[in-house]
Amino acid sequence: MIILCLNCGSSSVKYRLYDWEKKDVLATGLVERVTVGGSFIVHEVPGRENLTLKRECPDHRMAIQLVLDTLVNKEHGVIGSVAEIGAVGHRVVHGGEKFAKSVIITPDVLDTFRKLCDLAPLHNPPNIMGIEAAQAVMPGIPHMAIMDTAWHQTMPPHSYIYALPYHWYAKYGVRRYGFHGTSFLYNAKRASVLLKKDPFKCNLVIAHIGNGASINAVRNGLSYDTSMGMTPQEGLVMGTRAGDHDAAIDFFIMAKENLTPKDMDNILNKKSGVYGITEKFTDRRDIEMAAEKGDQRAQLAIDVEAYRIKKYIGAYAAAIGGIDAVVFTAGVGEMAPIIREWALSGMEYMGIKLDKARNNITMTRNAECEISAPDSKVKAFVIPTDEESVFIEDVAALKAGNYDVHTNFAYTFQKAGYRNRMRDAAFIKQAAKRPGLAQVAVNPPPELVALEKMAGLK
């Protein structure tokens, strides 16, 4: 069965095409600038040069049609016809309290997503537009929804209820929901493999650090608490989001500068975070380079972001009674050693002992690495996230009729012998250019191990 995974944002469509029987990624890509003009697609096929093609996409239906046209193109495509696609998986950011697992999309399910738009006004509407567009151009095949919030439905009430008038929760659904659920699910299962433990006997703190960032306390393999709240605004310092701060500041500044609620919402979501501190940068690489050149504001942004991560690690370790490992994932978590170092420094009293040399060389999205010292009682891992693998397995199981909540369902990537062939191939090339990288990988590709033995490196 060929599975198409779609992640539709307000102006983008991200996709992956996967052959379930062969366990192979056929293609990945992204359509950018949907609805805003100057649209283009970047199409990637393993073993080929990337393709960039310009075509105007005034709406999501045109963008998805562009994806399908590219996938079946005689020169650049990977399948003979759209009819070969057996199912489609869609990312949906907010599933509220209604869904604790992925579902087949029905009219009732879609109507529930519409009702939840007030809780995720920036995310659910484009997700819904993508679903409707895909159903229009691919009728007659099942479409499934994979929700960011589903993983967190195991949180106890004392984790998700705010100290606000309770009837707000009863009437409007005001509570902590949490996000990045598919990433946390993948990382929790993979961490259990690296720890060689039953996934439901693992206590973890997982930090998904990207432009959007959140942190998750995992107790006995289940989400126990998470930093994002009713919306993605709460918690860690992010690229452009403020995260935790005194809510009274918002009212104070609104009065001082005569701002509307919409103005303040825009500031908190798009002009705060590390961008708010530096007033220049959102990309952590730019911030790190600026700090190295003496930019004090850039250094302050690094300090503030890392300190917030450190506080959450300590708080969550206390909340779940001690941890087996800390996991860093997503773009910044995988590629920014300085953030990881500052977040974990001085935590030896908690059993976390960072190996700075291993941490400094660990910058890869293709292999799982250990950055803790050999004698560290609590492990520290960098695990490249793979949300699409969760999508694919959920879709395949829903189609086959054997899917269930993750406590009753075993993913292939939680097996000890699991390998991602596409990432293995990329890591072999990457390790050849960066001496020492292979040594920090927990489970490097067998082909790389063989090559290193032949070269006398081990």
- Supply the DSSP string of 51-98, one letter for each residue: EEEE---SSHHHHHHHHHHHHT-TTT-SSS-GGGEEEEEEEES--TTT
Buried b (16+ CB within 10 A) or exposed e, 254-286: eeeeebeeeebbebbbeebbbbbbbeebbebee
Q: Which of 350, 299, 422 is nearest to 23 (CA)?
A: 422
Q: Are 351 and 376 in contact (CB under 8 A)?
A: yes
Question: Which amino acid makes up residue 33?
Answer: R
Residue 451 makes CB contacts below 8 A (sequence gap 6+) with 428
Q: Which of 30, 56, 27, 28 is nearest to 41 (CA)?
A: 30
Q: What number of other Cβ atoms are within 10 A of residue 456's Cβ? A: 6
- Supply the DSSP string of 272-287, one letter for each residue: -HHHHHHSS--SHHHH
Point out the catalytic residue in the list 69, 148, 303, 386: 148
Residue 440 makes CB contacts below 8 A (sequence gap 6+) with 358, 361, 362, 369, 370, 371
Q: Is 148 a catalytic residue?
A: yes
First to last CA, the chain: 41
Q: Which sequence positions are flagged as catalytic?
A: 148
